[in-house]
Amino acid sequence: MLSVRQVTAGFGGDRPALCEVSFDLPAGAVLGVAGEPGSGRSTLTRVLTGDHVAHTGTLTLRPRDGGPEIELRADTPRPSRAERLAAASPRVLDTADPVLTPRQRHADVLVIDDAPAGSAAALARLRDRYGFAIVVTCTGPGALRGVADEVAVLYGGRIVEHGRAEDVWAGPHHPHTIDLFRGRDSAAAPSGGPGCPYRARCAYRMRVCDDTDPALDLITVGDGGTTMAACLQYDRDVPDPALLTDRRTAGLGSPA
Ligand code: SF4
């Protein structure tokens, strides 16, 4: 199990590249991290593998060999860290039967940044063969359909939606997730100042979105389960009916 808590990382600019990112990754599970270029997805993979050390927050790992829990600090030596969280090039997914190095095979978590479309089968083969957990990033969450157990969507360095993959396929909740499913990506920077960072691009923007920055909160989904979304639509008793309709039409139904 990898536990990531409140990780914030940057490169010295006004806005951190990654802001208070938290998630738990169970042993052997696949977390798909979706986001446009500039969303923070590559910074996240670099923090995990120790290639970017300028961060706050904590990473703890319970090794799959039953060893004691390890805290992965910014000053943890890279060789010992890479034995636990190993980076792999997305090119290993170019074939249906990927080949890994011995260090990658024995890692607790394999980290792959920017997986190409159509790589779900190769990822599933890796997970099934070697038993490690996987953190894999991509632009659109649909690329990981059928292999991801959970999906987190990054925008402006923050997680704006995180839930079970089957719930995201069935009906994404955050307007940005809906836009990613529909291929509406953009290089536009998140809105600054008070208010929701997504408001300039959001088709469901309300007046309150101009001065309130939504937190990532638990919301109830169809079967009584929960997922997380950072959107003020879910703070209201009666969300915009247009959003509910678009959630359904953007969803991809049951995983294949
Ligand atoms: S809080 Fe408002 S602007 Fe932000 S994603 Fe939700 S509806 Fe859109």
Contact 86, 111 (CB under 8 A): yes
Instruction: Give the full edge-to-edge strand order of the sheet including 18-25.
Output: 18-25, 2-9, 55-61, 70-72
pLDDT tens digits for 80-133? 777 899 999 999 999 878 889 999 999 999 999 999 988 999 999 999 999 999
Tell which wins on pLDDT, 250 or 158. 158
DSSP state of 242: H
Tell which wins on pLDDT, 247 or 3. 3
Helix (H, G, I), strand (E, B) or coil at 252: coil
CB atoms within 10 A of CB 109: 23
Percent of the chain with pLDDT over 90: 62
CA 134 to centroid of ligand 1, rounded, Å: 30
Residue entry with tokens 């038993």: 131
Tell which wins on pLDDT, 136 or 95. 136
Residue 201 lies in a domain: yes
Tell which wins on pLDDT, 188 or 167. 167
Q: Indicate whether residue 173 lines ligand 1 (CB < 6 A).
A: no
CB atoms within 10 A of CB 38: 18
Q: Indicate whether residue 157 lines ligand 1 (CB < 6 A).
A: no
203 Cα nearest atom in ligand 1: 8
User: Which of 142, 123, 116, 138 is closest to 252 using CA atoms?
Assistant: 142
User: Which of 46, 61, 28 is closest to 111 using CA atoms?
Assistant: 46
Residue 85 lies in a domain: yes
CA 242 to centroid of ligand 1, rounded, Å: 13
Residue 171 lies in a domain: yes
- Residue-number span of the structural domain to which 243 is assigned: 2-250
* Residue 256 confidence class, pLDDT cut points 50, 70, 90: very low
Average pLDDT of every residue of the chain: 89
* Rounded Cα gap, residues 110 and 40, in angstroms: 18
Residue 214 lies in a domain: yes
Q: Indicate whether residue 199 lines ligand 1 (CB < 6 A).
A: yes
CATH of the domain at 203: 3.40.50.300
Collect all residues with Cβ–Cβ distance below 8 Å to 104 and sequence separation of at least 6.
86, 88, 110
Residue 126 lies in a domain: yes
Task: Say what the pTM is.
Answer: 0.93
CB atoms within 10 A of CB 127: 19
What is the Cα gyration radius of the chain? 18
Please compute the mean of the pLDDT values over residues 148-164 and round it to a whole number.
Answer: 96
* pLDDT value for 237: 67
Count of all residues that appear for the chain in the document: 256
pLDDT tens digits for 4-29? 999 999 888 778 999 999 999 999 99
* pLDDT value for 246: 81
* pLDDT value for 221: 77
* pLDDT value for 253: 45
Residue 168 lies in a domain: yes
DSSP-assigned states of every residue in 181-234: HTT----PPPP-SSS-TTTTT-TT--GGGGT-----EEEE-TTS-EEEE--GGG
Residue 255 lies in a domain: no
DSSP-assigned states of every residue in 3-28: EEEEEEE-SSSSS-SEEEEEEEE-TT
CA atoms 55, 28, 85, 154: torsion sign: negative
CA 200 to centroid of ligand 1, rounded, Å: 9
Instruction: Count how many domains the chain has.
Output: 1
Residue 256 lies in a domain: no
User: Which of 125, 92, 86, 88 is closest to 109 using CA atoms?
Assistant: 86
pLDDT tens digits for 47-93? 999 888 888 999 999 999 888 999 988 777 776 777 899 999 999 99
Q: b/e string for 74-91 if b means 16 or more Cβ within 10 A?
A: eebeeeebbebbbbbebe
Q: Tell me how far apart the 2 most distant CA atoms of the chain are, in Å.
A: 54
User: Which of 42, 52, 89, 50 is closest to 70 using CA atoms?
Assistant: 50
